Amino acid sequence: MPHNVMIVDDAAMMRLYIASFLKTLPDFKVVAQASNGQEALDKLADLPSVDLILLDIEMPVMDGLEFLRHAKLKTRAKIVMLSSVAVSGSAHAAKARELGADGVVAKPSGTVSHDLEEKSGDELARVMRDLMVAA
């Protein structure tokens, strides 16, 4: 049975790239997408079966860090910060971890990383699978 994933990113093309990549991983299934943190929180109320959330930081309405402040009260889903500003060792990555992100993976080439699968796919898949095994 695949793990249910929600993608939260304000860039429609990035959501498409992530969803396309996840189709190559039979153990994960996209069940919801949102363009900002507020929309994601609203959708979580109707989707109690989300196992994993892939979350951008820089979004309008409610950014990823603000989402993290609220999400841990509303879901038991594991949350992976997937962002161009949350590179390993950065202040954004540290803040995301402090606020409850279970993993941090950098987008390889900016806000809309068309090369996500090619450059960060193995790392993202590993982080996702490790979190689901630990759950």
**Per-residue pLDDT tens digits for 67-87:** 999 998 889 999 999 988 766
Q: What is the pLDDT of residues 21-56, one digit of tens each?
A: 999 999 999 999 999 999 999 999 888 799 999 999
Total Cβ atoms within 10 A of residue 72: 14
Residue type, 11: A
pTM score, whole prediction: 0.92
CB contact at 8 A, 80 and 131: yes
How far apart (Å, rounded) are the C-alpha atoms in residues 91 and 63?
15
3-state helix, strand, coil in the chain (%, to 5): 40, 20, 40
Delineate the domains of the chain, giving CATH numbers in brackets: 3-134 (3.40.50.2300)
**Does 89 score more than 80 pLDDT?**
no
